[in-house]
Amino acid sequence: MIPTWAQLVHGVENAVLPQIPLTLTNAIIVTAAASKQLFPVGAQRVTERNLSVTTGVGNLLAAPFGG
């Protein structure tokens, strides 16, 4: 069943928008900071940008499979 526009708007307001700040802080900013603190020499490639791209690509690949 295809959702209606009202259902899509409801889903975005109640699920997508609240998740954005949580994902940015927990999965991106804190992970990059912890990597730099725990592995100062080996964490040059772990940047907020690289984590954002990796997370985004992973989400796009997982979406068709219900992820």
pLDDT at 38 over 90: yes
Break the chain into its structural domains and give their ranges: 30-67
User: What tens digit of pLDDT does each residue of 43-60 get?
Assistant: 888 899 999 999 999 999
pLDDT at 45: 87
Q: 42: pLDDT confidence band, cut at 50, 70 and 90? A: confident
Residue 36: name the closest of 22, 50, 56, 19 by CA: 50
